[in-house]
């Protein structure tokens, strides 16, 4: 049986690495400490560039699955998506990562986790 990192540990590591790289990581909503899902809002200088949900591939490797087919820099659209997801899954975490090349940063983070 493969052991996965708890969501709290993933969020803590993501926050620490973002801050070390000169960015910020803001927890928008906290979920279950051990097994809650995780939505990641990627932004650069306050402009949203992507919305992803933490997933695991068939090998158990961490990956980010894109959310919202057409994402524009509309905070209302993102807020509604997150609110809808949290209504059906109150254990869900939501984190905003504001750092240059946020999507690439998140991908590198998942590849090295």
| Residue 55 in domain | yes
Domain count, the chain: 1
- Which residue range forms the structural domain that includes residue 63? 7-112
Average pLDDT, the chain: 88
Q: Output the domain CATH number for residue 71.
A: 3.40.1530.20
User: What does the pLDDT look like over 43-75, one tens digit per residue?
Assistant: 988 888 889 999 988 888 888 999 876 666 678
Position 67 in a domain: yes
1 domain residue, yes or no: no
| pTM for this model (two decimals) | 0.88
pLDDT of residue 35: 85
Angle at 30 (CA atoms; ends 25, 32), nearest 5 degrees: 130
Q: What's 100's DSSP letter?
A: T
């Amino acid at each position: 049986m493969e052991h996965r990192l708890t969501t709290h540990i993933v969020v803590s590591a993501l926050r620490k690495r973002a801050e070390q790289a000169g960015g910020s990581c803001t927890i928008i909503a906290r979920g279950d400490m051990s097994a809650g899902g995780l939505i990641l809002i990627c932004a650069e200088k306050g402009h949203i560039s992507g919305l992803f949900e933490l997933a695991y591939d068939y090998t158990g490797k961490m990956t980010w699955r894109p959310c919202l087919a057409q994402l524009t820099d509309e905070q209302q659209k993102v807020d509604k998506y997150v609110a809808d997801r949290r209504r059906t899954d109150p254990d869900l975490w939501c984190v905003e990562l504001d750092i240059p090349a946020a999507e690439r940063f998140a991908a590198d983070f998942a590849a090295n986790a």
